[in-house]
Amino acid sequence: MRGQVVGGHRWRAPALAVVRSRWFGVTARAVVGAGVLAAIVARVGTGPFLHGVQSLDAGTVGAAIVLAAIATAAAAWRWTVIARRLGVGLPWSRAVGMYYRSQFLNTVLPGGVIGDVHRAVDHGRSAERLGTAARAVAVERSVGQVVQVAITVLVIVAGGAAFGTAGATAGGVDAGAADFGGVVFPALGIGAAVVVLAATIAAVASARVRNVLRREAAQLRVGLGSPAVAAQAIGASVVVCCCHIATFAIATAAVGAEVPPVRMLVLAVVVLLAAAIPLNLGGWGPREGAAGWAFAVAGFGTAAGVSAATLFGVLAIVSLVPGVLGTMLATIVQRRKRP
């Protein structure tokens, strides 16, 4: 018995080391994303994915490029404001280029966070303060995520009632499903609010949770520092969210789905929140699954949601290419100018 216990302990440490390693996390996220994609293909086939790709045209790409440029500029501004507050400021023009590259890496590589890690390390090495630079990126991303969740909850609670048989008059809308959506989407918003309330109560009741939240809150306070910095970071995050919502709306229209504005807003925030889940294969997986489910519940059909999410994913990659190429060209020119 003792030998079995010792043997168990002997294997436990290496196993825990593997599980806690960064590459295990990246691989696990990619596997989950691939599994979700496989399940979607098994459910709807490859047709909706192909339709999404085939719906790509010059006008859609042009609009996506403009929206991506605005979103990237706003996100880079958020980063520079927070980095400056922490004492590792960087020029906004450089931040824009680094953010383009970061987003592109997040989009094409598994996990959705490798670009942020690369951005933090690159900035930290140039500033010779790796820890502080990493904290700036962490705070910047946290602010964006908090604002996105807040917008999602508000939109679902306020706009969920737009789903119902009374509004299900557009072509291709299943009235029964739309009526069901009129119950589901407000319930989602209320459920999210309940989860937040429950988490707050748990934080009050648990010393361990309080300590974790206290550390996170302290990090945010240090990063934001003042009402002026917080207002700039939150405002930039709202701009980023609006650009992503607009891009998804363009993708939805391009695949031929006729969705009224309020319901389009609700569907977009649900899909974008799922897209932010770091369990994906190069950005693919939960986003398409959430889109198929949400569109089906809303009465527009699973296939329409998958097609819209597919085109959105393609646009997310294509719209970043000009910025990435411009950044690479600027870097080459600067290096050649150096003596």
Sign of the dihedral defined by the CA atoms of residues 273, 276, 278, 280, in that order:
positive
**Which pLDDT score is estimated for 62?**
97
pLDDT of 92-131, one tens digit each? Answer: 999 999 999 999 998 888 767 889 999 999 999 988 889 8
Out of 31-45, 190-204, 307-321, least confident range: 190-204
Residue 298: the pLDDT is 84
Which tokens is 82 given? 């927070």
Give mean pLDDT, residues 53-77: 97
d(CA 132, CA 118): 14
- Flag whether pLDDT at 77 surpasses 90: yes
Kindly indicate the confidence band of residue 309, based on its pLDDT and cuts at 50, 70 and 90. Answer: very high
Residue 212 has pLDDT above 80, yes or no: no
What pTM did the predictor assign? Answer: 0.80
Given this model, what pLDDT does residue 226 score?
Answer: 79
Give me the pLDDT at residue 168, please: 45
Task: Please return the burial class of 82, using the count of CB atoms within 10 Å of its CB with bins 0-12, 13-18 and 19+.
Answer: buried
Query: Band of the pLDDT at 319, cuts 50, 70, 90?
Result: very high
Which residues, 6+ apart, have CB-to-CB distance to 13 below 8 Å? Answer: none
Q: What is the pLDDT of residues 247-280, one digit of tens each?
A: 999 999 999 999 999 999 999 999 999 888 777 7
Which range, of 5-19, 131-145, 147-161, 257-271, averages the lowest pLDDT? 5-19
Q: How far apart are CA 38 and CA 221, in angstroms?
A: 42
pLDDT, residue 224, reads 72
**C-alpha distances in Å from residue 68, one per residue of 1, 96, 248, 282:** 62, 11, 12, 18
Q: What percent of the chain has pLDDT over 90?
A: 43
Q: What is the reported pLDDT for 248?
A: 98
Which range of 27-31, 35-39, 62-66, 83-87 scores highest in mean pLDDT? It is 62-66
- In three-state form (DSSP H/G/I as H, E/B as E, the rest C), the secondary structure along the chain is CHHHHHHHHHHHHHHHHHHHCHHHHHHHHHHHHHHHHHHHHHHHCCHHHHHHHHCCCHHHHHHHHHHHHHHHHHHHHHHHHHHHHCCCCCCHHHHHHHHHHHHHHHHHCCCCCHHHHHHHHHHHHHHCCHHHHHHHHHHHHHHHHHHHHHHHHHHHHHHHHHCCHHHCCCCCCCHHHHHHHHHHHHHHHHHHHHHHHHHHHHHHHCHHHHHHHHHHHHHHHHHHCCHHHHHHHHHHHHHHHHHHHHHHHHHHHHCCCCCCHHHHHHHHHHHHHHHCCCCCECCECHHHHHHHHHHHHHCCCHHHHHHHHHHHHHHHHHCCHHHHHHHHHHHHHHHHHCC
